[in-house]
Amino acid sequence: MEKSLISLCLLSGLSIGNCFAQVPAKPNILLIVADDCSYYDIGCFGAVNNKTPNIDALARQGIKFNCAYNSVSMSTPTRHCLYTGMFPMHHGGYANHSSVNADVKSLPSYLGELGYRVGLSGKWHIKPLANFPFEDVPGFPKGCTSTNTDYTTDGIKEFMGRNNSQPFCLVLASINPHAPWTGGDASVFDRKKLQLPPQFVDTEVTRKYYARYLAEIGLLDQQVGDAIQILKDKDLLKNTLVIFISEQGTQFAGAKWTNWNAGVKSAMIASWKGVTQPGTETSAIIQYEDILPTFIDVAGGKAPDVIDGKSFVGVLQGKAKTHHKYAYHVHNNVPEGPAYPIRSISDGKYRLIWNLTPEATYLEKHVEKNEWYLSWKAADTEQAHKILNRWQHRPEFELYDITKDPYEFNNLADKAAYKQKKAELIQELKKWMEQQKDTGADKDVPRTPNKKKIQTSSAS
């Protein structure tokens, strides 16, 4: 199909870029969401230990996003942002296991009004459920902490093929590779040869658990392949926008629950035959809040002003090289441990992190009890001391050149040469916080949903 499309372009005198810019009416939409998966453990994003052939194939068929980000590196608030198109403080469900404000509207309502069937198979972790009226599609397991990672595709096949006259939007929310890392085959990895990320303390126990985590990424890749095969078998791939996102980073300390690159950067891929040009990449800054308005856009609607994100259809078409000037991130540690509020901003080259209570010691209750973390604390090495100190004790400001230092070990915040960039990012971050009515440290407390009605408007 791609060859015939290119031939048609040449015969008609159009550029290939223009041919790939055509947007079909009301395509099907498939959104595949991983769970606690670090972007650097996906093959086409630089994985060195494992292979992800199905995800990589999706990238070859579409566009790879090199500057895609979540706003909160925890499951519940990340999904709240994804499904509402609103920033964390705006929808209110910014703490883990919290609820969005009473009248916040979400993806199934917006696309339902535009004639779509909207379903979700797998992990939910969104509250309250009344605000997220997805059809419950059986198949993928729901409990991310379960040791049972078995799944079936029968319910997914039925949902996709139920009514060809009505477009669908299906979210496949995998629980892989969320701990406890019991799925897949860890024996395929030679633990001694694994190359550990630099924010890991190198212990035998770490290598054991890292192999188990990588095995679940293999299972995730299998799920992606199964979903794409269903679309092919039902002849639906030709008119389906497929997006894959890796959610936040792994539960190993230094990724999830942080505003560091390893926590907030996403391995994001989009493939849409006839629209995305195969094998392309973009450095446009995209946030998860942009995904819903993009879906509304391709469905023929108009996103209401209450949505913070904006459609990136122009990026998918190859017509736009940029999207946002900055990406923004928040972290409130309650209920994951003692309060430790963090805010950050990135312009794609630099990331500034503002630790609002730098005098405090950072603790995360899930990390503290893990066998691999206990092995870090027991390791009496210079590397272990450095990494544990970085995790627990942080300066007020951190500034990194994430293009040269993606794992963020070289803090530039106090370097005279970066004084102007630091001031710019602090000013822009404070401006965003004010716009979002984010008062900072006093938000890091047990979350009580706002019952006050939020004004929304229907997508037209």
| Domain extent for 256 | 26-324
Q: Does 269 lie in the same domain as 236?
A: yes
Q: Does 393 lie in the same domain as 365?
A: yes
Q: Which of 17-26, 76-85, 122-131, 318-327 has the lowest mean pLDDT?
A: 17-26
Mean pLDDT of the chain: 93
Q: 120: left (phi > 0), else alpha (psi -120 to 50), else beta?
A: beta
Q: Averaged over 303-311, what is the pLDDT? A: 98
Q: Please report, for the domain that includes residue 125, its CATH number.
A: 3.40.720.10
Residue 1 pLDDT level (bands cut at 50, 70, 90): very low
Distance CA 457, CA 460 (A): 9
Share of the chain above pLDDT 70, in %: 92
Find tokens 């701990």 and name the residue. 179
Q: Does 317 lie in the same domain as 343?
A: no
pLDDT at 388 over 80: yes
Asked whether residue 129 is assigned to any structural domain, the reply reads yes
Q: 65: left (phi > 0), else alpha (psi -120 to 50), else beta?
A: beta
pLDDT of residue 19: 46
Asked whether residue 70 is assigned to any structural domain, the reply reads yes
Q: Does 353 lie in the same domain as 338?
A: yes
Strands 240-245 and 28-33: parallel
Residue 85 pLDDT level (bands cut at 50, 70, 90): very high
**Amino acid letter, 17:** G
pLDDT of residue 459: 35
Q: Averaged over 273-285, what is the pLDDT? A: 97
Q: Does 252 lie in the same domain as 206?
A: yes
Q: Does 358 lie in the same domain as 297?
A: no
- pLDDT tens digits, residue range 335-364? 999 999 999 999 999 999 999 999 999 999
Q: Does 348 lie in the same domain as 260?
A: no
Among 324, 351, 367, identify where a domain stops.
324
Residue 57 pLDDT level (bands cut at 50, 70, 90): very high
Among 324, 356, 375, identify where a domain stops.
324
Q: Phi and psi dihedrals of 270, rounded to 5?
A: -130, 135
Q: Does 339 lie in the same domain as 320?
A: no
- How many domains are contained in the chain? 2
pLDDT at 301 over 60: yes
pLDDT of residue 24: 63
Q: Averaged over 44-56, what is the pLDDT? A: 98
Q: Does 414 lie in the same domain as 272?
A: no
Asked whether residue 382 is assigned to any structural domain, the reply reads yes
Share of the chain above pLDDT 90, in %: 91
CA distances in angstroms from 77 to 7, 133, 401, 426, listed in the order given:
46, 17, 27, 24
Q: Please report, for the domain that includes residue 351, its CATH number.
A: 3.30.1120
pLDDT of residue 165: 87
Instruction: Tell me if residue 444 falls in helix, strand or coil.
Output: coil
Asked whether residue 399 is assigned to any structural domain, the reply reads yes
Q: Which two tokens stand for residue 64?
A: 């790879």
Residue 447 pLDDT level (bands cut at 50, 70, 90): confident
pLDDT of residue 5: 41
Residue 2 pLDDT level (bands cut at 50, 70, 90): very low
pLDDT at 287 over 60: yes
Q: Does 437 lie in the same domain as 343?
A: yes
Asked whether residue 3 is assigned to any structural domain, the reply reads no
- pLDDT tens digits, residue range 155-203? 999 999 998 889 999 999 999 999 999 999 999 999 999 999 999 999 9
Q: Does 268 lie in the same domain as 216?
A: yes
pLDDT of residue 74: 96
Q: Does 185 lie in the same domain as 151?
A: yes
Q: Which residues of 187-213 are buried (b: 16+ CB within 10 A; e: fewer)?
A: eebeeeebeebebbbbbebbbbbbbbb
pLDDT at 450 over 50: yes
pLDDT at 70 over 60: yes
CA distances in angstroms from 343 to 5, 11, 81, 352, 398, listed in the order given:
46, 52, 16, 9, 11
Angle value at C-alpha 258, between 422 and 340, nearest 5 degrees? 85
Which residues, in sequence order, are bridge partners of residue 330?
343
Angle value at C-alpha 289, between 21 and 443, nearest 5 degrees? 165
Strands 280-282 and 327-331: unpaired
